Amino acid sequence: MAEPELTDLLPRDVLDRPSTEVAPDLLGCVLEHESPDGLVAVMLTEVEAYTGQTDPASHAYRGRTARNAVMFGPAGHAYVYFTYGMHFCVNVVCMPAGTASAVLLRAGKVIAGETLACARRTSAAGVRPADRELARGPARLCQALGIDRGLDGADLCAADSELRLRRGVATARSEGKSLIRTGPRVGVREGADVPWRFWLDGEPSVSVYRPHPRKTATSPG
DNA sequence: GCACCGATGTGCT
DNA sequence: GCACATCGGTGCC
């Protein structure tokens, strides 16, 4: 018999909840981008929750701007931002319109379209990344999937959207959440005290924890 | 494996 | 002007 449940879109009401509850539920789910170049799908292995205007580490902490407007909209859309002058990162918007919480997708395991993902991730120097590094880290995940700001606001719960979120194939999650681990979020200074990073224990595609980027110490010379 | 550093747009002070 | 939800390359262990 067919197995339609393997490709079910994630219902929007799953995302219409606090991001700290949504985040662990996204582990094992699949993000796929159907671009003109082809389809790449990634099983999520590491995420972080941001609670919006109450969270000093959130882009929404200081209120709504043109960049973060999507976060203030309804659940189930993609918030894509550009950072450090060269990288994109993607979030899943949670909670109803007016509440700007989201889940940052930090890492995943490529389960379809590996050739295309690898081509996108191959450096200018021609260095081909290892399989587990194809989508390890939020900017690498976006690069492997071909996500840029053109997908900001994309509906992740619509069948006709080119960027979609699906229920996971059978994973550790279906056997309980004992293999989900938590810890502080990566690279944040404010809000580093809350364990709102979630990952699948033992997954090689999980990014390495980094407390905070080294300060740009302007050495006197 | 870890430390350092440069690249470089956007939002905020 | 500066910090930033980052990464790739280099140097070293």
* Chain segment A50-72, per-residue pLDDT in tens: 999 999 999 999 999 999 999 99
Q: For the whole model, what pTM was predicted?
A: 0.92
Which segments of chain A does DSSP mark as H helices, in order?
A: 12-15, 19-26, 114-121, 138-145
User: In this structure, is the CB of residue A85 within 7 Å of any atom belonging to strand B?
Assistant: yes
User: In this structure, is the CB of residue A159 within 7 Å of any atom belonging to strand B?
Assistant: no
Going through A51-100 in order, the beta strands assigned E by DSSP cover 78-83, 87-94
C-alpha distances in angstroms, A170 versus A77, A167, A175, A211? 24, 9, 9, 32
* Chain segment A139-194, per-residue pLDDT in tens: 999 999 999 999 999 999 999 999 999 997 655 455 555 589 999 999 998 999 99
Q: Which of residues 130-169 of A touch strand C (CB under 7 A)?
A: 133, 136-141, 143
Residue A211 has pLDDT above 90, yes or no: no
A93 closest CA partner among A69, A77, A80: A77
A1 CA vs C7 C1’ separation (Å): 45
Residue A15 has pLDDT above 70, yes or no: yes
* Chain segment A81-134, per-residue pLDDT in tens: 999 999 999 999 999 999 999 999 999 999 999 999 999 999 877 888 999 999
A68 CA: nearest nucleotide by C1': B11
